[in-house]
Structure 1
Amino acid sequence: MANRIINMLLILLLLLVSSISTIRRSVPENFARAGHTNNWAVLVDTSRFWFNYRHVANVLSIYRSVKRLGIPDSQIILMVADDMACNPRNPRPATVFNNANQHINVYGDDVEVDYRGYEVTVENFVRLLTGRSPPGTPRSKQLLTDEGSNVLVYLTGHGGDGFLKFQDSEEVTSQELADAVEQMWQKRRYHEIFFMIDTCQAASLYEKFYSPNILSVASSLVGEDSLSHHVDPAIGVYIIDRYTYYALDFLERVEPDSTKTMGEFLAVCPKRVCISTVGVRKDLFSRDPHKVLITDFFGSLRPVELTVSGLNVTAIPRTQNRTRRSQKEREVPDRKLQYAKQFPTFIFES
């Protein structure tokens, strides 16, 4: 009798394991049916202090590029650990430049920072990715992605073999990062992810990934440092890192209707200019990067049909089912409908 009970329990256990395996295998198949419908960007600078000015310039450079290519602020999560624009050491207040010639003020006029200063923590970053925000968190601080979302994740700061420092006081490990992404996959929070990491030994941060549909690029391999590009004498510190400098140079020549591919982008910084070796991991990515448009991650092109002609609704033929207009309505002449201006500037005209 005891043996029969044990055998029945073993059979039930095997059936349970088999059903769980079937469920897990069906998730990628369901995800494969879901198309790419929207783009999001999570841009993170983890460093504080004036001598890390370049890390703020790095993240704001990528922010400027994705916003120029069409991703709205409502779908960009910007985390900046220090406010260099308002730093008392900044000789040009309210500006952040990524070039000594001051060609581009990446701080701009409409930067929308979602997590600022001491809000940039490992806990907040992981909660953001996994959708475990505390009750009452504003929508602007949530990553509201779904199974159709392509997500660009850009990280910059100081790192080492298997970790990235936050605020010089804590760190996120490569395993924690991989587990957070797996939670995103299980909860259907992305379609594809592009991880872009600019830090020392950056490749170690994507080594632990085990979830599907992830393409990763890192500014340096394990054992290598990522180097800065140049100093601005007016500021006295390095103002951008090498990898991000050449990535931005490439992105500045991309337009919303560009046919440039992710394969081209992965080769933007060869060792002769980067000095460090750029690492790429594409074994988890189901598509050929050379056939993936760069705007699949860095842009957001919406099909829009424009018309300059007015719509004369009174000229529409009357059908038998329409209610006859009153005599007063028939006396009103036909008028063309026009859209009102977005902003009533006429009220300021003298």
Structure 2
Amino acid sequence: MFVKINVASFLVALFVVLVEGSNVIESIVEDHEHSIGTQWAVLVAGSSDWYNYRHQADICHAYQLLKKGGLKDEHIIVFMYDDIAYNSENPRRGVIINNPHGQDVYKGVPKDYTGKYCNAQNFYGVILGNKSALTGGSGKVVNSGPNDHIFIYYADHGGPGVIDMPIEPSIYAKDLNEVLKKKHASRTYKKMVFYMEACDSGSMFDGLLEEGLNIYVTTASKPAEDSWATYCSFSGEPCLGECPPKGFNNTCLGDLFSVSWLENSDLHDRRVETLEKQYQRFQDAPEGSTRKSEAYRKLSEAISEREHVDKCVKYIGQILFGVKNGPEVLNIVRPAGQPLVDDWDCLKSFVKIFESHCGSLTRYGRKHVRGFANMCNAGIQRDQIDAAAKQTCSS
């Protein structure tokens, strides 16, 4: 998904957070502005665990790119659970790579918000420059001014109107956009660039991101579309993309959207390449025995969990809308320009009600958030979904 806000001022702008020194804005000629403030970056890996290796690898690669471009650590804020580099399954202990032939991208990465401090509350606080909202971590925030540029890059799993963090709660589209509006209202940035890697990531902004905020957003997928991993190796399956080095089992080194723009930035002169040119480059990108037993066990559990979530949501839809109409209603995709749901509090409460009766929605189950949104849009009340979930999952 590609969203452009106030694009006239960006068409000839350099990728403001990835350029070097005084060249950062020399090509901006639309408004003849030739002076800038500080460049800030917020990098967020929203997952944990070995099988999600790629998200932290993407973020670490982005950090190295920013450092090469001249940004200082004091202006780069990193969110990552930090359980990959020294994971027992990592064949290169203390090292993270983002492609099969890549160098270590982990070295030197700031550990600003790790473990339980890698959460939504801290993410919002960092963007807003609100230190009083933080719990733990380095305490670094985007303490920006009216002439500053901000780059935010997020990589992880998502679903319609929601993206994950390693620690609950998740980030909902309405909440994120409210934070961006609040940041704009504080007049503490000049331009902002937001890259988002997640399934259904277009739904985080479609119909919600207001004009006039001077924010340029590019997402890995449309509002109802998957994003894809690459450089993957799973037992018994052909590699997805180029095979990772020996020892990298049951995981992926990167995400297709992310490695497209990261590797493009590695190879091309960032002082002359605009955001528009970079988008055009990657918008059509192509798509021991004990450990093996453990991998199969985890796979079987994952399949079972997915089947459970799918069946529960399906049956709840059938109870509420009928056997024939249930699937149709749950899968409705609103026209472009309309937000996922009219009442975001309703959506959040429906997810909580489901989880109270049927167990965790899980990262995989985030794809069903659209179904819960459609229940809200159809006027379903809390007592109705509570009864349907209880009937479905209490037996």
Give TM-score, length-normalised by structure 2. 0.57
SS of equivalent to 1:99: coil
Please show how residues 281-296 of structure 1 align to structure 2 within 5 Å.
none
Does 1:178 find its partner at 2:163? no
Give the 3 Å change call, closer, same or farther, for CA 173–135 of structure 1 in structure 2: closer
Query: In the aligned structure 1, how far is the partner of 2:193 from the partner of 2:281?
Result: 15
SS of equivalent to 2:253: strand
Alpha-carbon offset, residue 82 of structure 1: 3.2
Residue in structure 2 matched with residue 261 of structure 1 by the alignment: 274
SS of equivalent to 1:238: strand
C-alpha distance after superposition, 1:92-132 (max 9, x if no partner)? 1110011123x321112x22121111111111111111122
Query: What amino acid maps onto 1:127 in structure 2?
Result: G
Query: What amino acid maps onto 1:263 in structure 2?
Result: E
Query: What amino acid maps onto 1:87 in structure 2?
Result: N
Alpha-carbon offset, residue 36 of structure 1: 2.8
Alpha-carbon offset, residue 135 of structure 1: 8.1
SS of equivalent to 2:111: coil
Query: In the aligned structure 2, how far is the partner of 1:181 from the partner of 1:224?
Result: 24
Determine if contact 1:49/1:82 at 8 Å carries over to the other structure.
Answer: no
Please show how residues 59-98 of structure 1 align to structure 2 within 5 Å.
59-98=59-98
Does 1:56 find its partner at 2:56? yes
Does 1:209 find its partner at 2:204? no
Query: What amino acid maps onto 1:270 in structure 2?
Result: Q
Does 1:41 find its partner at 2:41? yes
Alpha-carbon offset, residue 193 of structure 1: 0.6
Query: In the aligned structure 1, how far is the partner of 2:110 from the partner of 2:147?
Result: 24
C-alpha distance after superposition, 1:267-295 (max 9, x if no partner)? 23233514xxxxxx9xxxxxxxxxxxxxx
Query: What amino acid maps onto 1:234 in structure 2?
Result: G
Determine if contact 1:77/1:140 at 8 Å carries over to the other structure.
Answer: no
Does 1:242 find its partner at 2:281? no
Residue in structure 2 matched with residue 219 of structure 1 by the alignment: 220
Identity, in percent, stands at 24
Residue in structure 2 matched with residue 105 of structure 1 by the alignment: 104
Residue in structure 2 matched with residue 154 of structure 1 by the alignment: 153
Q: How many residues align?
A: 241
The CA RMSD over aligned residues, in Å, is: 2.3
Residue in structure 2 matched with residue 120 of structure 1 by the alignment: 118
Does 1:229 find its partner at 2:224? no
- Structure 2 residues without counterparts, runs of 5 or longer: 1-31, 233-243, 288-336, 338-395
SS of equivalent to 2:260: helix
Query: What amino acid maps onto 1:144 in structure 2?
Result: N
Residue in structure 2 matched with residue 338 of structure 1 by the alignment: none
Determine if contact 1:47/1:82 at 8 Å carries over to the other structure.
Answer: no
- Which has a greater percent of strand? 1
C-alpha distance after superposition, 1:33-71 (max 9, x if no partner)? 995322110000010111000011111111111111111
Query: In the aligned structure 2, how far is the partner of 1:204 from the partner of 1:135?
Result: 27
Please show how residues 294-333 of structure 1 align to structure 2 within 5 Å.
none
Query: In the aligned structure 1, how far is the partner of 2:231 from the partner of 2:195?
Result: 21
Give the 3 Å change call, closer, same or farther, for CA 265–189 of structure 1 in structure 2: same
Determine if contact 1:200/1:224 at 8 Å carries over to the other structure.
Answer: yes
Alpha-carbon offset, residue 185 of structure 1: 1.0
Determine if contact 1:69/1:255 at 8 Å carries over to the other structure.
Answer: no
Determine if contact 1:48/1:168 at 8 Å carries over to the other structure.
Answer: no
Give TM-score, length-normalised by structure 1. 0.64
Query: What amino acid maps onto 2:284 in structure 1?
Result: K
Give the 3 Å change call, closer, same or farther, for CA 75–250 of structure 1 in structure 2: same
SS of equivalent to 1:78: strand
Alpha-carbon offset, residue 85 of structure 1: 0.6
Query: In the aligned structure 1, how far is the partner of 2:71 from the partner of 2:60?
Result: 14
Query: In the aligned structure 2, how far is the partner of 1:43 from the partner of 1:57?
Result: 11
- Structure 1 residues without counterparts, runs of 5 or longer: 1-31, 275-280, 282-350
C-alpha distance after superposition, 1:220-267 (max 9, x if no partner)? 0012111111122411111101011111111102456x2111111112
Query: What amino acid maps onto 2:59 in structure 1?
Result: V
SS of equivalent to 1:54: helix
Determine if contact 1:34/1:191 at 8 Å carries over to the other structure.
Answer: no
Determine if contact 2:65/2:266 at 8 Å carries over to the other structure.
Answer: yes
Alpha-carbon offset, residue 189 of structure 1: 1.8
Query: What amino acid maps onto 1:82 in structure 2?
Result: D
Query: What amino acid maps onto 2:103 in structure 1?
Result: I
Structure exhibiting the larger radius of gyration computed from Cα positions: 1
Query: In the aligned structure 2, how far is the partner of 1:217 from the partner of 1:174?
Result: 15
SS of equivalent to 1:182: helix
Give the 3 Å change call, closer, same or farther, for CA 69–34 of structure 1 in structure 2: closer
Give the 3 Å change call, closer, same or farther, for CA 135–202 of structure 1 in structure 2: closer
Query: What amino acid maps onto 1:175 in structure 2?
Result: K
Determine if contact 1:34/1:147 at 8 Å carries over to the other structure.
Answer: no
SS of equivalent to 2:144: coil
Give the 3 Å change call, closer, same or farther, for CA 74–168 of structure 1 in structure 2: closer
Query: In the aligned structure 2, how far is the partner of 1:49 from the partner of 1:90?
Result: 11
